[in-house]
Structure 1
Amino acid sequence: MAVLFRWLFRLVSGALVLGVLAISLVYYLGSRSLPVYDKTRAMAGITADIEIVRDNAAVPHIMALSDRDAFFGLGYVHAQDRLWQMMMMRRTAQGRLSEVFGVRTLETDTLLRRLDLYPLAVQSVPFQDARTLDALESYAAGVNARIDEINEGGLGRGAPEFFLFNQPIAPWQPADSIAIVKLMALQLAGHLQDEVIRARTSLALEDAARLADILPDMPGAGIAALPDYAALVPGPLPRFAETPARDHAFLMPVAPRGLAGASNAFAAAPDRSAGGGTLLANDPHLGLTAPSTWYLARLQLQSGGVIGGTVPGIPAVMVGRSEQLAWAVTSSYMDDQDLYIEELNPDNPEQYRAPDGWAEFRSRRSIIEIKDSAPVTVTLRWTDNGPVLPRSVYDLEAITPPGHVVSLAWTALSPQDTSVSAAVGLMMAEDVDAALAVSDGYVAPSQMLTLIDRSSIAMKLVGAMPRRDSAHQSQGRLPSPGWRPENRWQGMLPRDANPTFIRPVGGIVGNTNNKVIDRPFPLHVSFDWGDSQRVQRWQALMQGREVHTRESFIEAQLDTVSPAARTLLPLIGRDLWFTGEAAPGGTPERQRQRALALLADWNGEMNEHMPEPLIYAAWLRALQDRLIRDDLGPLADDFDHVEPLFVERVFRDIDGASEWCDIKRSAREETCSDISRLALDDALVWIGETYGTALESLRWGDAHQAMHDHPVLGEVPLLRHFVNIRQSTSGGDHTLQRGRTSGRDPHPFRNVHAAGYRGVYDFADPDSSVFINATGQSGHFLSRHYDDLGQLWRRGEYIPMSLDVDLARAASVGVTRLVKP
């Protein structure tokens, strides 16, 4: 027995030693790629020495004597901290993910190849202005200098992920940066999905008049009636337009419906500012990831210092400020996409119907290399309207008649895209008027650009706006026959057609993705907007005081009161509040009464520590599902976020919308109060099964966790605990501090789309401006800067946004000197 014990002890001890050695080796290899911030290195390709001071949050302050060297430095620091992220974005835009991840990403690569984003980026390079070409080339040189440094120094391939997915790293090219801008346009685009869901819903509803309820227009005049989708396209289509259930394709950059771009931005003129200077706040919303999409940086250009949020891979401060100008972006929701139903020639599938007869597709073959599998050859086809999309994406198979395909017209498919030139020019603009002129170069993605200089404010919709025929059959709201001349785009509108608001009398401009203008089609900008609720709260906060301060703008940016909750709860609970006798304990009736009592005293604040937001959110979700399930069948699963305007129309019985409350397949006629009560019971059962029956102990933050997940390693056992960042958060779908929920079971209220960047700029005292990143500067999960800003972000705190380099030096974590050899 003693011998057996000794051998067991030796085996266990040996296993432990081997385990420790293995972990140590993994850590050593992984840590080799951690960037060293405090060093001096000779660097070819620069015209003079560059100093990069990392402040205590690892934000680089790039001090250079020329713009070329400043952009070189930006490329270098991006590659130091986010090389894997940059290479992943480039591979995604190129449609080359399958070379690394195998068949899992074939659907993603197929879509990106069909969209042709990377070849279009290559074609766009010569159309950039001279200073942007210099910036692109210098930036690429900086990225490549870091790649060379990694290769020469054996620095762990630059990131731990490269050990797991070993692929050669090609040098960075100017076209790569333009391709990433186009990729972001794809991530922010949502009108394609809206057209598909509108078409599918039109097919599913027995009463076409009810389409205006479930997919309501933003309030305001001038909206024309829509045709029935079935009348637009030939051939049989199923009533419920069912599609096979499928998961979102791995690493697919297309956001699910409702999770495209968002954001808030608002500005105050000097006469509305307590300090006498202009104010600007901005929090662009994107899908949450680890690391964040955003990277904080400061550049010293010949025109002065520039600081703010950059996107690794792009040589520009996309949101931020210079010494004389500050700029912010929000998604404009301009309708810059149209789908077309293209009829195939039954005698020749290589032809499609055009206005003058059959036309040949523009076609070419593209080979997708796949790791551990045979390559796949894809035939890319284009019509005059745009690229032909695969039926497997966007649920297109549900709306495509037999013998037809679907093509896409989209402004981002321009081979003369000068959006990067506009972004670079914005950093060098001296005032609002100069910035407005530069902004005409934006093509896609379309944004609302909010600007301040030291004395004035402005807001403008930027991006190319399609010119549509006033006789367009669906006004761009539904997929339409591509062979009809009136449905086709007729070029782009002149840039002076883009709505612009300069130096308004009221001294305040802002955008929460709300409807900004009401013009008749085809100058309408859009029928579908991203917000009808947050703007109400924003208006109240802006007009609630005569003058504003940096602190009042921060307060508005972090506001968690839901105007939707304040509007809807009195409607859906009007027949339930304080009615009936006290029910016995432990009964569903008693639980309902407890929930209603909590909600009756609630002010609509979606605070992470409170139970009411969870009860409200679960109730509304169950209510919408009960309202639409019998009418839409399986399509109801796609309406996974509550639409407040729909619920309000139903409970106010606008144009007979209360008809949704009656369950058509039941013998009795249900009222809206019946459905509301049943939905509350549904919600409480779900809450009890998921979080427990003690309602007073519930926490919204337990359900509304921010999901900063690593796109690749986030699902890998064990590793996911190191690479994913999870945080309890306040806010919700309709609060200014927006935390868009997933809408998907089993965790429908997880926060998956929020402000990865926040900034507030005060030109009364510019160096008192503040900003924050949702995770940290580093993309290396072994770095302390991987998530060090995350808790500040969660608590609504910021770090200084100063151009004072001495302040950065005073608490720096390192100074890198790139010296000319």
Structure 2
Amino acid sequence: MVRIRALTTPDQGAGDTGPGTRGNDRMATLFRWLLRLASTAIVLAVIAVALVYYLAARSLPEYDKTLAVDGIGAEIEIVRDNSAVPHIFAESDTDAFFGLGYAHAQDRLWQMILMRRTVQGRLSEVFGQRTLETDILLRRLDLYTLATRSVAAQEPQALGALRAYSAGVNARIAEINDQSLGRGAPEFFVFDAPIAPWQPADSIALVKLMALQLSGQFRDEILRARASLQLPDPDRLADILPDIPGDGTAALPSYASLVPDARMPRFAAAPERDDPLSPVPRRGLAGASNVWAAAPERSAGGGTLLANDPHLGLTAPSTWYLARLQLQEGGVIGGTIPGIPAVMLGRSQSLAWGITSSYLDDQDLHLEELNPDDPQQYRTPDGWARFTTRRSIIEIKDEAPVTVTLRWTENGPVLPGRRFGLDRITPSGHVMSLSWTALSPQDTSLSGALRLMRAQSVNEALGATGLYIAPSQMLSVIDADHIGLKLVGAMPRRDRAMQGQGRLPSPGWIAANRWQGMFPDTANPEWIDPAGGIVGNTNNKIVDRAFPDHVSFDWGDSQRVTRWTQLMQGRQVHTRDSFVEAQLDTVSPAARTLLPLIGRDLWYTGEAAPEGTPERQRQRALDLLANWNGEMNEHMPEPLIYAAWLRALQDRLIRDEIGPLADEFDRVEPLFIERVFRDVDGAGAWCDVVRSVATESCTDIARMSLDDALLWIVEHYGTALESLRWGDAHQALHRHAVLGEVPVLRYFVNIRQNTSGGDFTLQRGVSSAQEPDPFLNVHAATYRGVYDFADPDSSVFISSTGQSGHFLSRHYDDLGTLWRRGEYVPMSLDEDLARAASIGVTRLEAR
């Protein structure tokens, strides 16, 4: 038997340990300290999160309370119904507007202050270098100064409402400061900046900001000028920038011929980066909407009907804030914009009104020639004149301030040459100025909106529209017996000899190119009680007048109106529900028109291809599309295949012809595709790839484009075409303007929803057209309302997010859930109903 004896060294005693044991002790000690540190870090993190939550939650508004305030004559009650819609009851109109200002500031203070900073050109004080170009543009337009000058032009009643509203906003700001209510909104902790008191000029300025957000005519001029330099053939220019069918378009000179002796810059393309804080929309996102109305003889209930859904960029929170005010003339309820003391669309007991973007051409660009001997002068019809100038200092967070010299000509402000591609169409020795109706220092648009709220009949409402300046809108109104539709807003008077006809920048030193004042309001197109009993607008062409009485050459839609006409004329009489059905209709007339054209030589052709080959994938896609009715339903695969095909097709058609400029044509234009595949005026020439030896046919391009689209789909969604869902790609993204791109936080502040519809459906959802999510829904109906005067309190409305701008509030997105499902909330002026469903009553008492 072999015994193994433990070996020891002389200095090892009974209580000693070896090196391995000592190492284990050190590891254990290290582990204990790491555990303690980790535990401490976790505890500190929990404390930090709890502290942040506590501070953020402090700014959640309390709806059930009593507060003593200065500036009111008697008690005001703000009753929040179960959707957090405030019903404001007061003994005077001025007190009612005070209550609206207070309610807006309770729920949307950050939104209001952000919009005010935008129009003032003061974003960089908070956001730094990122927003400098936006600030420079707004300073050059000088909208806030013009708003300040417009205060004195308001009607006395409107001025009283503006002052009372401002006092209401300031009462909430004072309450936040006095009671340490978390600075009023969580964003103020992240972007610390002092809040100045609200003033009447601030509200007028926000109306001008809205005009900027809804105006796209000057960018269309820039694009047309750039395209004309690339496409000297006027027929090809007419293809890619098609006129809406109908007479009235006159021949245009080439852009280069307008300044024949000037050296034009070399063409280059560098599309601007999208910034949620920029108030200037990309092409195709300047504004849209639907509105239609039915007379009693076309209504099943015997009362008038009106439906309205204005389309704006999707944001969190929404642009709109639902509210009801009890005025001396009666109750008014509908959509308001925080910062503006008016129900912009909605109804009273006697009247309902809705708006759409009119696409009136209310902007013109002018080339201004600089004096080569004195660049402080520019050419006019009467010789050289000095610019009107003013220096403006822009403060920038964490950087030195920037001083900008603002310049104005007789035509308008000089625009920054680096923005919007202006440097690619401005010859050397020239600058570009802008004429625009919103640049009026006597802007009474807000007075018009407030007078409209008090109108009791269609005639009285349309009589108030002479006060509207900008933004121009199509206004539809109904009372119990009558319906009407009118273009409202100042309409520029142009000389018949104007060179660019408002479609191209024109030399500002030629008298015929300058505006000749404004048309009287009576010249604006108007329809009252038409024989057919239906009026409406989907941003379509409304008149067929020759220039200069044409209203516009560029309209927002040529497709939705065809579907709307079918739905309106498909019934003898309508109901509230049939109007709702039309608002939510997702059939694309563009798809129904274009698919038979582009696929006519591809359907059911060729032999069956082996599984797994591109040919087989193409055949499966064509089989699906052949049996599709054009409905852009979120649960179907066909809308995604169709949309990807059209996007790839247009890019293939134009890129070899216009190169990088194709990036500016990122939205499918159905009229262009139709012209090409019908070979209108030789438009089929776009199908041939000019840089290839072979002559490609339109069928070749259609087939190759479908393969491109399917390859893109496979890379993003896999090979199972039948399993595709349009809603997965067409998600509505309601993005928070400043926190929406912050890691982690964006999941709390942004709202994403799968949605139906598309660019050309009545339930409109415009795609972003930008990678990596080109079909993201970014522009849609942010408000829907349907008003039935057979039973006014059965009227309904909805907004796209919720009433609160606070992402910790349950009312941040609760209405958005209904909006996504196509549901509405009651739009009642019944006081008892509002109180019965109340979630809180705020009482403001005179101090």
Q: Which bracket does the TM-score occupy, shorter chain normalised?
A: over 0.9
> Which secondary structure does the structure 1 equivalent of 2:399 belong to?
coil
Following superposition, the deviation at residue 7 of structure 1 comes to: 2.5
SS in 1 for 2:288: coil
Aligned to 2:312: 286
Report Cα offsets for 1:301-345 as digits up to 9, x if no partner.
000000000000000000100000000000000000000010000
Amino acid at match of 1:738: R
Please state if 1:425 is matched with 2:425. Answer: no
Q: Distance in 2 between matches of 1:284 and 1:104?
A: 30
The answer to whether the 8 Å contact 2:265/2:423 transfers is: no
Q: 1:200 aligns with which of 214, 226, 239?
A: 226
Please state if 1:799 is matched with 2:790.
Answer: no
Contact 2:295 2:533 in 1 (8 A): yes
Q: 1:75 aligns with which of 101, 105, 111?
A: 101
The equivalent position to 1:296 in structure 2, one of 314, 322, 340, is: 322
Q: Is 1:728 the equivalent of 2:763? A: no
- In 2, Cα distance between equivalents of 1:411 and 1:2: 77
Equivalent in the alignment of 1:784? 810
The Cα of 1:209 is off from its aligned counterpart by 2.0
What residue in structure 1 maps to residue 533 of structure 2? 507
**Of 388, 400, 403, which residue of structure 1 is paired with 2:414?**
388
CA contact (8 A) 1:104 1:250 kept: no
Q: After the TM superposition, which residues 414-493 of structure 1 pair with which residues of structure 2 at under 5 Å, given as runs?
A: 414-493=440-519
Which residue of structure 2 aligns with residue 269 of structure 1? 295
User: 2:351 — aligned with what?
Assistant: 325
Tell me the residue number matched to 1:608.
Answer: 634
Mean Cα displacement is larger for which, 451-460 or 220-229?
220-229
Post-superposition Cα deviations, 1:488-521, rounded to whole Å, max 9, x if no partner, equal 0010011111000001110000000000010111
Note if 1:18 corresponds to 2:44.
yes
Aligned pair 1:627/2:653, yes or no?
yes
Q: Which residue of 1 aligns with 2:9?
A: none
Q: Quote the offset at 1:114 in angstroms.
A: 0.1
Partner of 1:531: 557
SS in 2 for 1:552: helix
Question: What code does the residue aligned with 1:753 have?
Answer: H
Distance 1:372 1:582, change over 3 A: same
Q: CA offset at residue 241 of structure 1?
A: 2.4
The answer to whether the Cα contact below 8 Å between 1:108 and 1:249 also exists between their aligned partners in 2 is no
For residue 9 of structure 1, what is the aligned residue in structure 2? 35
What residue number does 1:174 align with?
Answer: 200
Q: Distance in 2 between matches of 1:683 and 1:237?
A: 41
SS of structure 2 residue aligned to 1:132: helix
Q: Distance in 2 between matches of 1:226 and 1:436?
A: 35
Deviation at 1:188, TM superposition (A): 0.2
CA distance in 2, matches of 1:726, 1:156: 27
Q: Contact 2:154–2:447 at 8 Å: present in 1 too?
A: yes
Could you tell me whether the CA contact under 8 Å between 1:240 and 1:632 is conserved in 2?
no
Match of 2:339 among 309, 313, 318: 313
**How far, CA to CA, are the matches of 1:364 and 1:3 in structure 2?**
70
Aligned to 2:246: 220
Q: Equivalent residue of 1:88, what SS?
A: helix
Percent identity of paired positions between Structure 1 and Structure 2: 75
Question: What is the Cα deviation at residue 240 of structure 1?
Answer: 7.2
Aligned mate of 2:125, from 99, 103, 112: 99
Q: 1:360 to 1:249 in 2, by over 3 A?
A: farther
Q: Quick one: distance in 2 between partners of 1:392 and 1:92? A: 19
Residue 91 of structure 1 deviates from its aligned partner by 0.4
Aligned to 2:678, which of 652, 656, 670?
A: 652
Match of 1:120?
146
Aligned counterpart, 2:78: 52
Q: Secondary structure of 2:246's partner?
A: coil
**Cα deviations by residue, 1:263-288 (Å, 9 ceiling, x for unpaired):** 00000000000000000000001111
- Determine whether 1:770 maps to 2:777: no
Q: Deviation at 1:13?
A: 1.7
In the aligned structure 2, how far is the partner of 1:499 from the partner of 1:283?
21
Aligned counterpart, 2:369 = 343
**Is residue 768 of structure 2 the alignment partner of residue 750 of structure 1?**
no
* TM-fit CA distance, 1:813: 1.1
Q: Any gaps of 5 or more consecutive residues in structure 1?
A: none
| Residue equivalent to 2:391 | 365
Q: Distance in 1 between matches of 2:634 and 2:121?
A: 40
2:765–2:779 CA contact under 8 A, matched in 1: yes
Larger radius of gyration: 2
Q: What is the CA-CA distance between 1:426 and the residue it aligns to? A: 0.6
Q: Is residue 553 of structure 1 aligned with residue 560 of structure 2? A: no
**Aligned match for 1:687, one of 713, 737, 753:** 713
State the one-letter code of the partner of 1:650.
V
Whether the aligned pair in 2 keeps the contact of 1:125 and 1:133 (CA below 8 Å) is yes
Q: Helix, strand or coil: the match of 2:432?
A: strand
Would the aligned equivalents of 1:100 and 1:165 in 2 still touch at CA under 8 Å? Answer: yes
Q: Is the 8 A contact 2:288 2:310 kept in 1?
A: yes
In the alignment, structure 2 segments of 5+ residues that lack a partner are 1-26
CA distance in 1, matches of 2:423, 2:274: 16
* Cα distance per residue 1:712-740 (max 9 Å; x no partner): 01111111111101111100000000001
In 1, Cα distance between equivalents of 2:189 and 2:739: 12
Residues 759-780 of structure 1 deviation map (CA, whole Å, 9 limit, x = unaligned):
0000000000000010000001
The one-letter code matched in structure 2 to 1:416 is Q
Q: Deviations over 1:333-382 (max 9, x none)?
A: 00000000100000000000100111110001011111111111100000
Distance in structure 2 (CA, Å) of the matches to 1:315 and 1:680: 51
Cα distance in 2 for partners of 1:444, 1:135 equals: 20
CA contact (8 A) 2:265 2:427 kept: no
Residue 238 of structure 1, CA deviation: 6.0
User: 1-side partners of 2:389 and 2:450: how far apart?
Assistant: 35
Q: Residue 237 of structure 1 contacts residue 398 of structure 1 at CA under 8 Å; is this kept in 2?
A: no
Match in the other structure for 2:167? 141
Pick the aligned partner of 1:162 from 188, 198, 206.
188
Describe the superposition over 1:171-216 as per-residue Cα deviations: whole angstroms up to 9, x where unpaired: 0000000000000000000100100000000001142321111000
Q: Secondary structure at the match of 1:789?
A: helix
The counterpart of 2:547, out of the listed 501, 509, 521, is 521
Contact 1:237 1:399 in 2 (8 A): no
One-letter code of the match for 2:243? Answer: D
Asked if residue 579 in structure 1 is aligned to residue 612 in structure 2, the reply is no
Does the 8 Å contact 2:265/2:425 carry over to 1? Answer: no
Note if contact 2:271-2:664 (Cα within 8 Å) is conserved in structure 1.
no
- Once the two structures are TM-superposed, the CA of residue 246 in structure 1 deviates from its matched residue by 3.6
Classify 1:121/1:115 alpha carbon distance in 2 versus 1 (closer, same or farther; 3 Å). same
Aligned-partner SS, 1:376: strand
Q: Secondary structure at the match of 2:400?
A: coil
Q: How far off its partner does 1:791 sit? A: 1.0
How far apart, in 2, do the equivalents of 1:334 and 1:740 lie? 21
Q: For 1:184, which of 204, 207, 210 is the aligned residue?
A: 210
Q: Does 1:110 align with 2:136?
A: yes
Q: Which amino acid aligns with 1:589?
A: E
Q: TM-score, normalised by structure 2?
A: 0.96
Deviations 1:429-476 (A, max 9, x none): 010000000011100000000000010000000000000000111211
Matches of 1:3 and 1:239, distance apart in 2:
72
TM-score by length of 1: 0.99
AA at the equivalent of 2:566 = A
Asked if 1:256 corresponds to 2:282, the answer is yes
